[in-house]
Homo-oligomer: A and B are copies of this chain.
Amino acid sequence: MSDPAAAALPVAIEPNHDEHLVAAVEEAGGRVVGLDEARVLVWIGIVDDFPELPDHIEWVALKTAGIEEYVSAGIIDDRRRWTNASGFYAENVAEHALALLLAGLRQINTAVLRHWDKQPIDTAVRSLHGSTVAIIGAGGIAASLIPRLTASGARVIAVNRSGRPVEGAALTVPSERLAEVWEQTDHVVLAAPATAETRHLINADSLAALPSHAWIVNVARGPLIDQTSLVTALREGGIAGAALDVTDPEPPAGDDPLWSMPNVIITPHVANPSSGLTRTMAPWLAKNIRHFVAGEELIAVVTAGSAY
């Protein structure tokens, strides 16, 4: 090209010029500019600070996988393209889900709190190998989690909207038949976005249908679980335990019974650590900028109506 400046895509990174993302933009042949000159906005701030968008913004790249706050604030419009980070953090979140499930089954939390209390721990340890795990929400997290689970000798039931078979799953069930899943599984991993449909999908009914040895892992969003019913089931032995990276509200109140239950593990929403987020996002942003410049389809396009 004779005029490289004209060829370089003007990209705004707001509200701050994160070093990993600046490097990604420049590596992909873009240049970082202010919002008033940009054709693309990479937004790494919080939803409350989201700016008024000039008409010349053709694409907004959000840093999060969950976009429910942007949807309910009416920010996602149909005048430009929007992408989220769906799939970018899947390896990390899948790894955390496996860590939580194994920590529960192998009684790591109990061992940390009750030093060498061998007899009760020995009899409570359960194996992932030979068990069945249902993954609710068959997106990127499920795709990363399934090979980890099958390598550990577990069988996977995937639940998605369409019921279209998910690779590596022994069985795929459409979400409209979710109620049939509980009795067929040993454990549950929640990996679906928060939508009206997924709200409280773990409730008194599903908890009653699950076996008493079941562990529930939530790496998705707190509102997928009716937490009052969960506490009751955990207290009465309806299920074996819950390992939660997300809660409702977040964090739970200081006097929430979850904090003192021996069969609960809570990590503070770190399945995809914020501290490493832009570093993980950077290669994906670079790839998407190349797609945009080339007029190709963007990765992780979302609309206000997007759900799992």
| Chain A residues within 8 Å of chain B by Cβ, number | 48
Q: Smallest CB–CB gap between A135 and chain B, Å? A: 15
Q: Smallest CB–CB gap between A275 and chain B, Å? A: 4
A251-280: CB near B (< 8 Å → 1, else 0) gives: 110100001000001111110011110000
A229-263: CB near B (< 8 Å → 1, else 0) gives: 00000000000000000000001101000010000
A95 B127 Cβ-Cβ under 8 A: yes
Which 6 A-B residue pairs are closest in the complex by CB-CB distance? A151-B151, A99-B102, A116-B251, A118-B268, A99-B106, A111-B267
Q: Name A's B-contacting residues (CB within 8 A).
A: 91-92, 95-96, 98-100, 102-103, 105-109, 111-113, 115-118, 121-123, 125, 127-129, 147-148, 150-153, 251-252, 254, 259, 265-270, 273-276
B99 A108 Cβ-Cβ under 8 A: yes
A108 B106 Cβ-Cβ under 8 A: no
A152 B95 Cβ-Cβ under 8 A: yes
Query: What residues of B have a CB within 8 angstroms of the CB of A274 in the complex?
Result: 122
A95 B91 Cβ-Cβ under 8 A: no
Closest residue of chain B to A114 (Cβ to Cβ) is B268
Q: Smallest CB–CB gap between A138 and chain B, Å? A: 18
